[in-house]
A and B are shown apart, each in its own frame.
Chain A
Amino acid sequence: MTQKLLQNCGKCGLCLYVCPVYKIIKEEQSSPRGKLQLIKAYENNNLATSPLLKEIVSKCLMCGSCSANCPSGINHYSKFMEMRKNMVEAQGEEPAIKSLIYLLSRDYRLKFGAGLARTGQKFIPDSFAKNYKLGNIPLKNFPKLNSIPFRKANDEVILPDKKQIGTLVYFTGCATNYLYDDTGFAFIEILKHMGYKIIIPKDQTCCSIPLLFHGAAGKSLKNITTNINTLKNFEADKILVDCSTCGEALKNEYPRMIENEGQDPFEANKIASKVMDALSFIDQNFDLLEFDSNIKEKISVTYHAPCHTKNSFGSNIIFENLLEKLPFVNYKRTPDVDECCGGGGTFFYEHPEVSKIMVDKKIKNAKAVKASIWLTDCPVCRMNLAGNLNDNDNLQVLHPLNLIASALKPL
């Protein structure tokens, strides 16, 4: 059982209006306040586990907006993760999620799994791929897996194009490693252009957030320890992430998890203090970027701010300001730029009926501003947005790093 956290929920209800799930379902049990109530009843042995309780607890995007706006400073995040663990232990997990956890908890399994899935992608008949959906995303719209995992395709140490001004560690996350290597290559290009030496530690593994969210706290601890032991060996100015969810894990969850285990959090804290998200880093080092002066035409761009970027780093606002500054960009803001897209890890798969409403609203607003590129700095958001677009929507979803790298002055 969890230790009692200091603050009680004052039930003020301020979390209701920031909760993307409550806003659609409009029933209290779908709200953060309702979930805390159920968790309290469960912890006090006033409520038994049940399939319904598990479903209610899982109907959450883990976006962190409730914690970020809670006047009492409640850490909903850790409460929900603990409860998810309890529910999985009591009720079991469905096969698809089980295999995801199995894959993510060991890097070699991931590599093997990705290889298998690639083969699978090749052999799936077109007619099947066209009609079959995973969650609310048609199978044909899923990204192709990288032909070689990103970390395998790169040396562990990469030197800059010009005089070295510093050293950075790049924590790539699973998405860049297996799905979106274009993000990784773009980041390397930008950092080399700036003059940084880049270290991509070979032994890094899944940040463990997907495991924590699905109640596999035990398995997650192994990943956390592996990553801490790997990262602590490298002397660097910063540890960079291109995915704010990985960033949230390194920055906030690692020290907390290590401390909960009764271990010395010194290394975890040291790592946490160096973690920075890609967008903040670009902003801080903006003066080091030289753009290609041959680009004459402005490209129209819109943005979707991922929940973890907003709630863990607040760098979505920094990035929006940056978009206004970029000489080759015509930034077209949508009114719901920082509203959740409904991706939420595996939320789109587990609760497609809720997720679909959210993503369709995002797409409608993005199409209305008539941009040709839709930026987002979270791989799940990217998969969810791109996966739900139609071929004739003429909107390409990319990581902000792709856009910036493509406009750099060739050296």
Chain B
Amino acid sequence: MLETQIKNELIKIVGKDRYLDRHEEISCYAYDAFLVESLPDAVIFPETTNEVSKILQTASRYKIPVTGRGAGTSLCGASIPIKHGIVLCFSKMDRIIQVNTRDRHIIVQPGVVNADVQKALLPFRFFYPPDPGSMNTSTIGGNIAMNAGGPRCLKYGVTADYILGMEVVLASGKVIRFGGKNIKDVTGYKLSSLFCGSEGTLGVITEATLKVMPMPEAVKTMMVTFDNLDNTAKAVTDIIGSGIIPVAMELMDKLTLNAIEDSANLGLDRKAEGSLLIEIDGVMEACEKEMKKIIEKVKKNGAVNIQTAASELERENLWTARRSAYGVFAKLAPDIITEDVTVPVSKVPLMIRQIMEIADRHGLKAYILAHAGDGNMHPMIPTDKENKEDWEKVEKAFSEIFQAAAKLGGTLSGEHGIGLAKAPYLPLVMNKDTMDFMRTIKQAVDPDLILNPGKFV
């Protein structure tokens, strides 16, 4: 609990209804979707930029840690208040300020849920491309702080590519605004790229102007199976090499396909060594032409079975296997650990084999899904984290997986972020001078180190 004087100052800003510090309440802000827990001293729900600014002025004066939070779905512990202090929760600052598809943007407060942005754009036949798996729950503020991705980012790019303008409150309480409503804007530093992905360590996002896209006229989906994993991955590079960038290219290996089939009974090919779910979109004629070319490429790589969706229902059915994967693996053991190492596309089969080999060596089972088009792997390992021996094996295995990815020219995280989960492994992919440079930036904007302390920087 914060000292009475500080507490009173904070309550003066937001009122006592939006300040929580009873044990039963703050216990629910000690976690996110990562494994570690740490209690905050208080949870505050701001509703305006002015309130955020005043809260940060107070926090600065008393040097209290401030950790931002949207829906608490971070997979790397980015929203866990590891140094306690204040959790600044944006769930009640959730207004859509303006929808303007003529100028191709939407202006939102940070607590707006990703799916609600999509809903607001639907009547205009526009959409906001970043589609993290948590999009039904996670907020735009969190998406920006984590530079969230998603399956369709292969074609459309990630959150950072869709920020036109932002309002950010600095640790001092000062409010800065940059960018605006212009699709092209090279005025000054591109500050959105500094704050997007900063995981709440540089500033607090209070408003964002997001670029939106017109919905494509047609969507085509197909599921292809192969009797060889190398060929599966080679088909991916061949398709992209031929000038087609699909919306999504989801790879599943044999173990994964069989585990899904065991529980969901979808009629998947149990003998397939690898499968690709490929989706393209655009103008109808172009889609049809691209489909032909894709079929040609997968056949050349020894495709065993090609299924194309003729209707929206069939499309949904093809996606069912991929979408049910997490639920299937989550039920195999008390806990499921998902990682997201990423490697250059050509290294995908090698990475898959190394993950299997590492898991085998530790007596673990790894189920592998990959956004294959961008090399973003999602190995999932079912385990029981309360079983110390098992848990140590899992930790060792993941540490080895990170090292293997780094050696292949890959990186620690494609879309989940660093947070607490991968902070110790940063030196694998970053030299000391680069890490020092990040610290220099951090110290310049947050000299008292109150913003999300204890994380990767």
Contacts and interface: CB of A to CB of B under 8 A. Distances in A.
A37 B24 CA distance: 10
B192 interface: no
Given A71-B330, A73-B327, A73-B330, A13 B24 contact: no
A28 B326 contact: no
Contact of B33 (A7, A10, A17, A34): A10
Interface in B86-106: 89, 91-92, 94
A165 interface: no
A13 B115 CA distance: 14
A10 B72 contact: no
Contacts of B45: 26-27
B311 interface: no
B28 interface: yes
Interface of B is mostly: loop
Given A47-B24, A71-B326, A28 B331 contact: no
Given A38-B27, A47-B23, A47-B24, A16 B327 contact: no
A13 B73 CA distance: 6
B31 interface: yes
B335 interface: yes
Contact of B137 (A17, A34, A71): A17
Interface in A14-69: 14, 16-17, 26-29, 31, 33-34, 37-38, 41, 47, 50, 52-53, 56
A53 B24 contact: yes
Given A27-B91, A38-B28, A13 B134 contact: yes
Contact of B71 (A16, A37, A52): A16
Contacts of A99: none
B28 A17 contact: no
Question: Which of A11, A47, A50 is the most central at the interface, judged by chain B CB atoms within 10 Å of its CB?
Answer: A11
Contacts of B20: 27
B27 A13 contact: no
Interface string B5-20: 0000000000000001
Contacts of B115: 17
B225 interface: no
A96 B183 CA distance: 61
Nearest to B37: A37
B23 A7 contact: no
A73 B331 contact: yes
A368 to B, nearest CB: 16
Contacts of A285: none
15 contacts: A11-B34, A13-B71, A13-B72, A16-B137, A17-B137, A26-B94, A27-B89, A27-B91, A28-B72, A28-B89, A52-B22, A71-B326, A71-B327, A73-B330, A73-B331
Interface of B: 20, 22-25, 27-34, 43, 45, 71-73, 89, 91-92, 94, 111, 113, 115, 134, 136-138, 326-327, 330-331, 334-336, 385
Given A13-B73, A52-B22, 20 more contacts: A6-B334, A7-B330, A10-B330, A12-B33, A13-B138, A14-B137, A17-B136, A27-B20, A27-B28, A27-B45, A27-B91, A28-B29, A29-B25, A38-B28, A47-B23, A50-B24, A52-B24, A71-B326, A72-B327, A73-B327
